[in-house]
């Protein structure tokens, strides 16, 4: 999977169709709040879906219509969109957390209760679906805010599931590129990277991680304390 600064088209399509789980939907929706390009793409996909729905209510969908719609959907994906490029950092006093994330967090970054993970890295769980979505014991999805101190390099790691990362403040670099506020990455087991926070400020991200069963429990945490980063 090629990392991108935007959600891949399949993710946007699932979002437009309303089929994404809440945690993934939160990550995509928060990216959309910061990315007019992807907002436009989702509107296009929703319009296509609406067209299909209208046809379904009046007549069986013909092969020709399906082909036409699929052909449109096969048009250039978000992967081909230009990078978001330099973005203004959140200025003091302005909200750094866009909706819908802000509501999930219950306020802005200055009210977040950070918990240290390792030196230079703090995290704060984000409640999704009525529970603190950090239930690794069930192999469930974890939703967290992560804060990497300015200039700190995380341990090199791979992923045992998928991880969506959305930069909210500051920036980081890894082998796949440089990411700033609004940039979105989706990494999986094919990605072996070592993110390093930019030197000019703390990097704060939203991370949505699918934790696999085999890595849960005290033993898994003991063997690899960084695996759920
Ligand atoms: Zn985008």
Kindly state the average pLDDT of the residues 125-153.
76
In this prediction the pTM is 0.72
Kindly state the average pLDDT of the residues 3-7.
81
* Residues 207, 118 share a domain: yes
* Residues 109, 63 share a domain: no
* Residues 122, 66 share a domain: no
What b/e readout covers 155-179, taking b as 16+ CB neighbours within 10 angstroms?
Answer: eebebbbbbbbbbbbbbbbbeeeeb
Q: How far is CA 10 from CA 6, 14, 195, in A?
A: 11, 6, 25
Nearest to 14 by CA among 33, 2, 27: 27
pLDDT given at position 27: 95
Residues 9 and 79: beta-carbon distance below 8 Å: yes
Higher pLDDT pick, 94 / 147: 147
Nearest to 168 by CA among 154, 182, 178: 182
Residue 50: band (very low, low, confident or very high) from pLDDT cuts 50, 70, 90: confident
Cβ neighbours of 227 (radius 10 Å): 18
CA of 92 to the centre of ligand 1 (A): 24
CA of 7 to the centre of ligand 1 (A): 6
Nearest 5°: the CA angle 83, 174, 160 is 105
CA of 32 to the centre of ligand 1 (A): 6
The domain that contains 135 carries what CATH number? 2.60.120.10
pLDDT given at position 147: 95
Q: Quick check: is 68 in a domain? A: yes
Predicted confidence (pLDDT) at residue 212 exceeds the cutoff of 90: no
* Residues 142, 74 share a domain: no
Q: How far is CA 130 from CA 1, 92, 104, 164, in A?
A: 31, 31, 10, 20
Q: Count structural domains, the chain.
A: 2
pLDDT in tens, 84-129: 444 545 455 556 899 999 999 999 999 999 999 888 999 999 998 8
Residue 10: band (very low, low, confident or very high) from pLDDT cuts 50, 70, 90: confident
The domain that contains 45 carries what CATH number? 1.10.10.1320
Q: Quick check: is 150 in a domain? A: yes
Kindly state the average pLDDT of the residues 202-216.
72
CA of 106 to the centre of ligand 1 (A): 24
pLDDT given at position 200: 94
Predicted confidence (pLDDT) at residue 210 exceeds the cutoff of 50: yes
Predicted confidence (pLDDT) at residue 154 exceeds the cutoff of 90: no
* Residues 122, 212 share a domain: yes
* Residues 108, 21 share a domain: no
Domain with 64 in it: 9-80
Higher pLDDT pick, 155 / 114: 114
CA of 19 to the centre of ligand 1 (A): 19
* Residues 126, 72 share a domain: no
Q: Counting beta carbons within 10 angstroms of the beta carbon of residue 221, is it exposed (0 to 12), middle (13 to 18) or buried (19 or more)? A: middle
pLDDT given at position 97: 93
Residue 80: band (very low, low, confident or very high) from pLDDT cuts 50, 70, 90: very low
CA of 181 to the centre of ligand 1 (A): 11
* Residues 113, 30 share a domain: no
* Residues 218, 108 share a domain: yes
CA of 38 to the centre of ligand 1 (A): 4
* Residues 219, 166 share a domain: yes
* Residues 205, 117 share a domain: yes
CA of 37 to the centre of ligand 1 (A): 5
């Amino acid at each position: 999977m090629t990392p991108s600064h935007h959600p891949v088209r399949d993710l946007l399509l699932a979002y437009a169709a309303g089929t994404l789980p809440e945690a993934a939907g939160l990550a995509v929706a928060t990216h959309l709040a910061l990315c007019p390009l992807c907002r436009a793409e989702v509107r296009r996909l929703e319009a296509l879906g609406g067209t299909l729905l209208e046809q379904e209510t009046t007549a069986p969908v013909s092969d020709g219509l399906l082909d036409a719609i699929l052909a449109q959907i096969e048009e250039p994906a978000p992967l081909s969109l230009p990078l978001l490029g330099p973005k203004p950092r959140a200025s003091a006093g302005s909200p750094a957390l866009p909706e819908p994330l802000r509501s999930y967090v219950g306020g802005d970054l200055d009210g977040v209760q950070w918990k240290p993970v390792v030196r230079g890295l703090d995290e704060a769980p984000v409640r999704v679906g009525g529970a603190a979505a950090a239930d690794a014991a069930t192999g469930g999805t974890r939703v967290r805010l992560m804060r990497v101190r300015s200039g700190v390099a995380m341990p090199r790691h791979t992923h045992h599931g998928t991880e969506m990362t959305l930069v909210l403040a500051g920036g980081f670099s890894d082998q796949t590129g440089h990411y700033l506020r609004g940039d979105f990455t989706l990494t999986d087991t094919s990605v072996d990277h070592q993110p390093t926070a930019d030197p000019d400020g703390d990097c704060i991200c939203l991370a949505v991680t699918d934790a696999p069963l085999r890595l849960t429990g005290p033993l898994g945490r003991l063997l690899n304390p960084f695996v759920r980063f």
